[in-house]
């Protein structure tokens, strides 16, 4: 009896309330999004809003059930849970039902389940378990390898299901790892990667290599104003470039000048690195490494974009970056979504008055594009309120995670925040044209049992762990 | 609780907040600053559907319907919504070629994949009935209601005109018209377009992304009702019109009959004619091309557009002008020796007694006589000068609307021609021509041209003894009797000749023509009428048979002008036709069935 009261008292009711509010807002917006005059009752179970109510009821039951478990259960059974979920991921590849080119669903009669949704909390548990283990050191190469395995095994399996969106979610764990001591360069590199990616997409790769080649000696000279050394560097490159140019000329210009520069850069980089090493000019090496890796990266981006990504993925990125514009074709979804949100204005059109979402102009308006309904019917006020609720929840999660005495609980808490953050940013970002169209749901809002339940499990395991924070020291 | 990385919570929290702020700024921009999305949303979800009103019905003078409307349907398509369908089946229902359908479907796709386009316009109600049952097999196709013109009898096509799709030029000029609207292209349909068309209405519907109508917008608050076109009552007598068209069958030419007391046009025949129903609906463009190619020019409204030499009819006007100018009176006699002697027997004349007085000259249509009259008018001493005299002669003729538009409510009425001094100066040189040079003007030949309508109007002027109402085909528009549109037809117009006696002398001559002259064979039992035969010399072929008349002599109720192309002597063809029409109009029946049969069955075209 005493214990029960403790749990009740130590539960963070703020986050539970945020959860309940978001789930109910989601339900009301699903109602508005697929509202059908013929079935106007929000409790009509033949409609999505009726069904969502069932999923919500079940989600509450799941949340309650989680509270019945001992808080040590999750830490203790982490690996079995991870293993079972992996097993499901593999089985869905074999037995799953293929819809829209994705093999991501189990179908039992009219009931459908998406195992990849439940993989998230399992992976989070596994990471928490591994990172909180005794003697764990994040800078250890072996540790990094295991972390990589824990993340990329499910990630890879989901990629095999052809569900790129869900697999990208696992990138979110970078926040968790950063919090646990991963070098800040990871975040820096992530940022650089994004910037370089954008540059590589928007600017011709040949121009990039030219600009970088001009910049490198200038930067070097600014750091170390010795004309002689700069001259040597330029000389080496010039020599290498003329050799490759000569070769290319000999084979009748089979390759473009870009490749001449590219090869010359590599050759001269090796030479310069050796010289810099001998003369102990450390930043010369740094500049060369940065130069080479940047050039390689832009080349890789081009290659990956044209030869690895599929057409629709290329289109979505092109559309987002404004390289191409086809509001009736590839850009249709985002354009309609922006129209819906933009037409909401300051106060919105009012409940059930949204014309864009209600009349199916916005695709997937009850799942991936549910935020449009908020934007159209509730306007700027509504979107800011929803965004704020999510942000408060994320900050509250950080706060809760930080107050854990158990490392396992803290790491898990950061995992929850990271996954939710990724979903929120990508989902809302896509509806307002700031992120490419990646089909992942808005947590607690989007229609669908699997995603609602998986987010509920993900969140409530943490709330359960938090409610026990005074007892566990593991 | 010593954690070396604890401070990183601020960075992570900061990133979360930063993203939230970026999103809020973006939302602020999208939802509040940028207004373009609001317009897009309206266009996206509202579909304005035009409600096409039925055009006004056109009646004859007795309330008989000349043209009304029947429901018609346009087959529309939204290409995006179509699924695999049986093209051959659809084409067979629509009775069109597969190639044509494929082309139109492709055009529709080119226009827009998600907006409706007309794929086949004006499906008949019969086809619609069949189509409607099978429409479920063709998702993406739907039918939009329209009305089509329908003619109870295939008559009066030139009067009524036809309706067709509005051209891009008109759309630019007049904001009322939109692509795909119909507009009157000729005849009454054109002249009275603004009354007949009514007012288009619009229904604004909320549609979903598939253009499926989800309900009316704002409960129809912004909808406007279509206003049905105004009905028009014409001056045409449908029975007479039909009769005239029958008489003119297999003949080229024209009949115009006017009620001189009102200026109302009782009938207008331009032969060959065509069934007005041919220019309705889907068959229109095909038929139009065929009619256009027809060498007999059925689309050409001879009654108002063909300029014929007036021939002997003009002698009536010469007689009037001569008297007006004081160079002629009822007793003036001129000799005739099978032609006009001063110019060596030219113009020629047929054998008759000589010399003749005015009345007999009209009755026998003496060419020589009117050559003398013309010469005396042009060489009139009071002007001292040919040019002045010629100008006076011309002005009087113009006041009879010869070489000048009558101002009727026909679209495309032409003015005919009466040559000017300038014209002859150019041909012969200034001062190098005189009456004898242009002597054939006196008998209505040479460069003179007159339309059958003008010719009928001249007869009406004579019948009225000097005045006329502008001939017109519309009696009333809707129920509004005070409409100013028709006011100009209620004003009496006078020619330059106001002395009634001058007309009486001519009328006497016309009466003589019926009693004992050239039209003696055309008497109508119980009716006195006045007439003048004519044979218009045709420089391009056989002479035209011309006949003008009015009846009865006192209080005339019909003035008529008949012209049968290449049919020779006036009394042979044009005369009997006019006589039968007057009989029909005044007595309501025909007592000369043999003549009627003979006229109707004779083919003067040759094929």
A262-281 pLDDT tens trace: 888 888 888 888 888 887 77
The more confident residue out of A248 and A36 is A248
> Are the beta carbons of A417 and B28 separated by less than 8 Å?
no
Question: Tokens 């050239």 appear where?
Answer: B518
pLDDT number for residue A5: 47
> Are the beta carbons of A338 and B17 separated by less than 8 Å?
no
pLDDT number for residue B212: 62
Residue of B nearest to A379 (CA): B31
- CA A193/CA A243 separation, integer angstroms: 32
B contact residues 20-59, partner A, Cβ 8 Å cutoff: 20, 22-24, 26-28, 30-32, 34, 36-38, 40-42, 44-46
Whether residue B471 has pLDDT greater than 90: yes
Whether residue B1 has pLDDT greater than 50: no
The more confident residue out of B71 and B502 is B502
Residue of A nearest to B10 (CA): A398
- Indicate the domain borders of chain B: 47-78+94-135+144-234, 238-601
Asked if A291 and A269 touch (Cβ cutoff 8 Å), the reply is: yes
Confidence class for position B394, pLDDT limits 50, 70, 90: very high
pLDDT digits (tens, 9 = 90+) for A84-107: 999 999 998 888 777 767 777 887
The number of beta carbons lying within 10 Å of the beta carbon of residue B474 is: 23
Tell me, yes or no, whether A29 lies in a domain.
yes
Name the percent of chain A lying above pLDDT 90. 32
Asked if A465 and A129 touch (Cβ cutoff 8 Å), the reply is: no
What number of CA atoms fall less than 13 Å from residue A371's CA on the CB side? 30
Query: Looking at the structure, do residues A398 and A275 belong to the same domain, yes or no?
Result: no
Taking alpha carbons only, the member of B549, B548, B506 closest to residue B528 is B549
| Chain B interface test: which of A339, A372, A398 (most B C-beta within 10 Å) | A339
A286 is in which domain, residue-wise?
Answer: 196-308
| Chain B interface test: which of A332, A355, A387 (most B C-beta within 10 Å) | A355
pLDDT number for residue B400: 92
Whether residue A241 has pLDDT greater than 80: yes
The more confident residue out of A5 and B466 is B466
* Of B151-165, B194-208, B591-605, the least confident: B194-208
Most confident of A110-114, A270-274, A298-302, B222-226: A270-274
Name the percent of chain A lying above pLDDT 70. 92
pLDDT number for residue A57: 94
Tell me, yes or no, whether A190 lies in a domain.
no
The more confident residue out of A315 and B306 is B306
Tell me, yes or no, whether A338 lies in a domain.
yes
pLDDT number for residue B100: 87
pLDDT number for residue B254: 93
Mean pLDDT of B125-130: 82
Query: Looking at the structure, do residues A16 and A160 belong to the same domain, yes or no?
Result: yes
Whether residue A400 has pLDDT greater than 90: yes
The kind and range of the H/E element at B150 are strand B141-150
- CA B229/CA B200 separation, integer angstroms: 9
Q: In angstroms, what separates the C-alpha of A253 from chain B's closest C-alpha?
A: 44
Residue of A nearest to B2 (CA): A405
Confidence class for position B45, pLDDT limits 50, 70, 90: low
Tell me, yes or no, whether A262 lies in a domain.
yes
- CA A129/CA A139 separation, integer angstroms: 17
- Nearest CB to B45; choose among A37, A328, A361: A361
Residue B218, judged by CB atoms within 10 A of its CB (0-12, 13-18, 19+), counts as exposed
Paired tokens of A308: 């690895």
Mean pLDDT, all residues of chain B: 85
Which residues from chain A sit within 8 angstroms of residue B28, using beta carbons? 380
Query: Looking at the structure, do residues A207 and A79 belong to the same domain, yes or no?
Result: no
Residue A307 DSSP symbol = I
Whether residue B480 has pLDDT greater than 80: no
Whether residue B46 has pLDDT greater than 70: no
Q: In angstroms, what separates the C-alpha of B11 from chain A's closest C-alpha?
A: 9
- CA B446/CA B537 separation, integer angstroms: 9
B47-78+94-135+144-234: CATH topology: Penicillin-binding protein 2a (Domain 2) (3.90.1310)
pLDDT number for residue B588: 87
Q: What is the DSSP string of B571-585?
A: TTTHHHHHHHHHHHH
pLDDT number for residue A445: 92
CB–CB contacts below 8 A, A to B = 123
> Are the beta carbons of B209 and A339 separated by less than 8 Å?
no
Confidence class for position A2, pLDDT limits 50, 70, 90: very low
pLDDT number for residue A14: 94
> Are the beta carbons of A383 and B12 separated by less than 8 Å?
no
| Strand ranges, E, within A43-143 | 97-99, 102-108, 111-113
Mean pLDDT of B457-467: 93
Number of H helices, E strands in chain B: 21, 18
> Are the beta carbons of B31 and A178 separated by less than 8 Å?
no
> Are the beta carbons of A434 and B36 separated by less than 8 Å?
no
* Of A210-224, A381-395, B575-589, the least confident: A210-224
> Are the beta carbons of B41 and A339 separated by less than 8 Å?
yes
> Are the beta carbons of A383 and B13 separated by less than 8 Å?
no
Confidence class for position A201, pLDDT limits 50, 70, 90: confident
Residue A4, judged by CB atoms within 10 A of its CB (0-12, 13-18, 19+), counts as exposed
Secondary-structure percent of chain B, ordered helix, strand, coil, rounded to 5: 40, 20, 40
pLDDT number for residue A326: 54
pLDDT number for residue B526: 87
pLDDT number for residue B32: 86
* Phi, psi for residue B108 in degrees, rounded to 5: -60, -40
Tell me, yes or no, whether A426 lies in a domain.
yes
Report the DSSP beta bridge partners of residue B117.
B77
Confidence class for position B398, pLDDT limits 50, 70, 90: very high
* Of A57-66, A446-455, B120-129, the least confident: B120-129
> Are the beta carbons of B19 and A178 separated by less than 8 Å?
no
Confidence class for position A37, pLDDT limits 50, 70, 90: low
> Are the beta carbons of A342 and B41 separated by less than 8 Å?
yes
pLDDT number for residue A1: 40
Show Cβ contacts of residue A459 under 8 Å, excluding neighbours closer than 6 positions: A15, A19, A416, A420
Asked if B576 and B520 touch (Cβ cutoff 8 Å), the reply is: no
Most confident of A126-135, A388-397, B73-82, B598-607: A388-397
Q: In angstroms, what separates the C-alpha of A320 from chain B's closest C-alpha?
A: 14
Confidence class for position B213, pLDDT limits 50, 70, 90: low
The number of beta carbons lying within 10 Å of the beta carbon of residue A113 is: 18
Mean pLDDT of A321-336: 63
**How many domains is chain A partitioned into structurally?**
2
Taking alpha carbons only, the member of B26, B47, B48 closest to residue B37 is B26
* Phi, psi for residue B124 in degrees, rounded to 5: -70, 160
Confidence class for position B121, pLDDT limits 50, 70, 90: confident
Tell me, yes or no, whether A191 lies in a domain.
no
The kind and range of the H/E element at B3 are none
Asked if A28 and A449 touch (Cβ cutoff 8 Å), the reply is: no
Mean pLDDT of B339-365: 85
Asked if B403 and B415 touch (Cβ cutoff 8 Å), the reply is: yes
pLDDT number for residue B583: 93
Paired tokens of A196: 């370089």
- CA B502/CA A418 separation, integer angstroms: 112
Q: In angstroms, what separates the C-alpha of B143 from chain A's closest C-alpha?
A: 22
pLDDT number for residue B92: 87
- CA B519/CA B572 separation, integer angstroms: 9
Query: Looking at the structure, do residues A211 and A158 belong to the same domain, yes or no?
Result: no
Mean pLDDT of A426-451: 89
Taking alpha carbons only, the member of B359, B421, B353 closest to residue B387 is B421
Name the percent of chain B lying above pLDDT 90. 28
- Nearest CB to B26; choose among A181, A345, A434: A434
The more confident residue out of B598 and A311 is B598
> Are the beta carbons of B37 and A417 separated by less than 8 Å?
no
Mean pLDDT, all residues of chain A: 84
Q: In angstroms, what separates the C-alpha of B16 from chain A's closest C-alpha?
A: 7
Mean pLDDT of B285-313: 86
Taking alpha carbons only, the member of A88, A83, A126, A85 closest to residue A106 is A88
* Domain B238-601 classification at class level: alpha beta
Whether B143 and chain A come into contact, CB under 8 Å, resolves to: no
- Nearest CB to A356; choose among B44, B114, B214: B44
| Chain B interface test: which of A342, A352, A434, A435 (most B C-beta within 10 Å) | A342
pLDDT number for residue B387: 87
Report the DSSP beta bridge partners of residue B524.
B527
**Contacts for A172-176: CB closer than 8 Å, 24+ residues apart:** A172/A418, A172/A419, A172/A421, A172/A422, A173/A123, A173/A124, A173/A127, A173/A415, A173/A418, A173/A419, A174/A418, A175/A414, A175/A417, A175/A418, A175/A421, A175/B12, A175/B15, A176/A124, A176/A127, A176/A411, A176/A414, A176/A415, A176/A418
Query: Looking at the structure, do residues A200 and A176 belong to the same domain, yes or no?
Result: no
pLDDT number for residue A60: 95
Query: Looking at the structure, do residues A354 and A390 belong to the same domain, yes or no?
Result: yes
Query: Looking at the structure, do residues A219 and A368 belong to the same domain, yes or no?
Result: no
Whether residue A253 has pLDDT greater than 90: no
Show Cβ contacts of residue B420 under 8 Å, excluding neighbours closer than 6 positions: B394
Taking alpha carbons only, the member of A84, A81, A106 closest to residue A161 is A106
Asked if A125 and A74 touch (Cβ cutoff 8 Å), the reply is: yes
* Of A335-339, A357-361, B50-54, the least confident: A357-361
Which residues from chain A sit within 8 angstroms of residue B13, using beta carbons? 395, 398
Q: In angstroms, what separates the C-alpha of A299 from chain B's closest C-alpha?
A: 29
Whether residue A229 has pLDDT greater than 70: yes
């Amino acid at each position: 009896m005493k214990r029960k009261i403790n749990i009740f008292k130590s539960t963070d009711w703020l986050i539970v309330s945020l959860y309940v509010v978001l789930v109910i807002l989601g339900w009301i917006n699903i109602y508005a999004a697929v509202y059908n005059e013929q079935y106007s009752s929000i409790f009509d179970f033949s409609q999505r809003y009726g069904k969502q109510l069932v999923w919500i009821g079940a989600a509450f039951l799941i949340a309650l059930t989680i509270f019945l478990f001992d808080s040590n259960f999750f830490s203790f059974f982490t690996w079995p849970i991870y293993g079972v979920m992996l097993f499901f991921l593999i089985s869905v590849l074999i037995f799953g039902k293929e819809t829209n080119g994705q093999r991501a669903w189990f179908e039992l009669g009219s009931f459908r389940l998406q195992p990849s949704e439940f993989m998230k909390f399992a992976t989070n548990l596994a990471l928490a378990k591994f990172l909180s283990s005794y003697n764990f050191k994040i800078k250890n190469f072996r540790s990094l390898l295991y972390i990589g395995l824990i993340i990329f095994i499910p990630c890879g399996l989901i990629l095999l299901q052809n569900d790129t969106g869900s697999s990208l979610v696992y990138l979110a764990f970078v926040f968790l790892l950063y919090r646990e001591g991963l070098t800040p360069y990871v975040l820096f590199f992530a940022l650089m990667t994004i910037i370089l990616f954008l540059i590589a997409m928007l600017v011709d790769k040949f121009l990039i290599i030219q600009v970088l080649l001009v910049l490198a000696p200038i930067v070097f000279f600014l750091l170390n104003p010795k004309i002689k050394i700069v001259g040597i560097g330029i000389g080496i490159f010039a020599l290498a470039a003329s050799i490759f140019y000569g070769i290319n000329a000999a084979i009748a210009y089979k390759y473009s000048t870009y490749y001449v520069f590219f090869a010359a850069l590599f050759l001269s980089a090796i030479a310069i690195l050796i010289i810099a090493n001998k003369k102990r000019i450390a930043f010369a090496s740094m500049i060369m490494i940065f130069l080479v890796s940047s050039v390689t990266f832009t080349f890789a981006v081009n290659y990956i974009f044209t030869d690895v990504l599929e057409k629709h993925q290329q289109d979505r990125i092109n559309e987002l970056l404004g390289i191409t514009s086809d509001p009736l074709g590839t850009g249709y979804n985002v354009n309609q979504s922006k129209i819906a949100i933009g037409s909401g204005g300051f106060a919105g059109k009012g409940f059930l008055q949204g014309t864009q979402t209600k009349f199916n102009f916005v695709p997937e308006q009850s799942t991936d594009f549910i935020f449009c309904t908020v934007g159209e019917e509730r306007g700027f006020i509504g979107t800011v309120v929803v965004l704020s609720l999510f942000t408060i929840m994320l900050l509250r999660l950080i706060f809760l995670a930080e107050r854990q005495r158990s490392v396992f609980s803290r790491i898990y808490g950061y995992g929850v925040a990271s996954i939710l953050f990724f979903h929120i940013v990508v989902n809302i970002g896509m509806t307002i044209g700031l992120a490419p169209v990646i089909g992942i749901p808005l947590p607690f809002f989007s229609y669908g049992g699997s995603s609602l339940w998986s987010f509920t499990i993900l969140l409530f395991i943490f709330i359960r762990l938090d409610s026990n924070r005074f007892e566990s020291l593991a | 609780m010593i954690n070396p990385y604890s401070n990183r919570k601020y960075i992570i929290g900061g990133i979360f907040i930063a993203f939230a702020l970026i999103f809020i700024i973006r939302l602020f921009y999208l939802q509040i600053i940028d207004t373009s999305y609001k317009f897009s949303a309206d266009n996206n979800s509202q579909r304005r559907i035009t409600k096409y009103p039925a055009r006004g019905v056109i009646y004859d003078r007795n309330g008989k319907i000349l043209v009304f409307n029947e429901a018609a349907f346009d087959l529309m398509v939204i290409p995006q919504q179509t699924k695999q369908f049986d093209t051959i089946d659809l084409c067979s229902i629509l009775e069109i070629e597969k190639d044509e359908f494929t082309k139109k479907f492709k055009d529709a796709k080119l226009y827009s994949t998600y907006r409706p386009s007309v794929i086949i316009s004006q499906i008949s109600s019969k086809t619609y009935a069949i189509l409607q049952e099978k429409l479920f097999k063709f998702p993406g196709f739907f039918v939009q209601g329209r009305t089509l013109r329908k003619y109870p009898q295939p008559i009066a096509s030139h009067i009524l005109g036809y309706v067709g799709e509005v051209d891009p030029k008109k759309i630019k000029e007049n904001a009322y018209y939109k692509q795909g609207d119909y507009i009157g292209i000729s005849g009454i349909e054109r002249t009275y377009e603004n009354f007949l068309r009514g007012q288009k209405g619009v229904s604004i519907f909320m549609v979903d992304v598939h253009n499926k109508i989800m309900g009316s917008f704002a409960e129809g608050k912004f909808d406007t009702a279509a206003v049905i076109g105004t009905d028009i009552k014409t001056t045409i007598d449908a029975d007479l019109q039909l009769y005239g068209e029958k008489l003119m069958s297999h003949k080229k030419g024209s009949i115009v009959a006017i009620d001189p007391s009102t200026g109302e046009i009782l009938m207008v025949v331009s032969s060959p004619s065509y069934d007005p129903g041919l220019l309705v609906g889907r068959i229109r463009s095909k038929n139009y091309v065929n009619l256009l190619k027809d060498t007999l020019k059925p689309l050409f409204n001879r009654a108002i557009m063909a300029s014929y030499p007036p021939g002997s009819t003009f002698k009536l006007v010469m007689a009037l002008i001569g008297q007006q100018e004081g160079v002629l009176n009822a007793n003036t006699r001129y000799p005739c020796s099978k032609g006009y002697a001063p110019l060596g027997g030219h113009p020629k004349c047929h054998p008759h007694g000589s010399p003749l007085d005015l009345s007999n000259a009209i009755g026998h249509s003496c060419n020589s006589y009117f050559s003398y009259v013309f010469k005396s008018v042009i060489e009139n001493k009071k002007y001292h000068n040919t040019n002045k005299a010629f100008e006076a002669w011309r002005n009087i003729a113009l006041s009879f609307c010869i070489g000048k538009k009558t101002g009727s409510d026909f679209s495309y009425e032409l003015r005919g021609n009466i040559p000017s001094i300038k014209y002859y100066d150019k041909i012969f040189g200034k001062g190098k021509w005189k009456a004898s040079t242009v002597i054939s003007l006196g008998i209505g030949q040479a460069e003179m041209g007159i339309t059958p309508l003008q010719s009928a109007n001249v007869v009406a002027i004579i019948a009225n003894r000097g005045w006329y109402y502008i001939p017109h085909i519309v009696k009333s528009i809707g129920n509004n009797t005070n409409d100013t549109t028709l006011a100009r037809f209620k004003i009496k117009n006078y020619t330059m000749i106001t002395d009634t006696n001058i007309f009486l002398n001519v009328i006497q001559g016309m009466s003589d023509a019926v009693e004992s002259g050239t039209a003696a064979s055309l008497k109508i039992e119980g009716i006195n009428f006045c007439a003048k035969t004519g044979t218009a010399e045709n420089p391009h072929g056989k002479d035209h048979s011309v006949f003008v008349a009015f009846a009865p002599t006192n209080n005339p109720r019909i003035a008529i002008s008949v012209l049968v192309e290449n049919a020779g002597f006036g009394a042979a063809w044009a005369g009997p036709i006019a006589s039968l029409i007057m009989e029909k109009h005044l007595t309501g029946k025909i007592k000369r069935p043999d003549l009627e049969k003979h006229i109707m069955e004779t083919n003067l075209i040759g094929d």
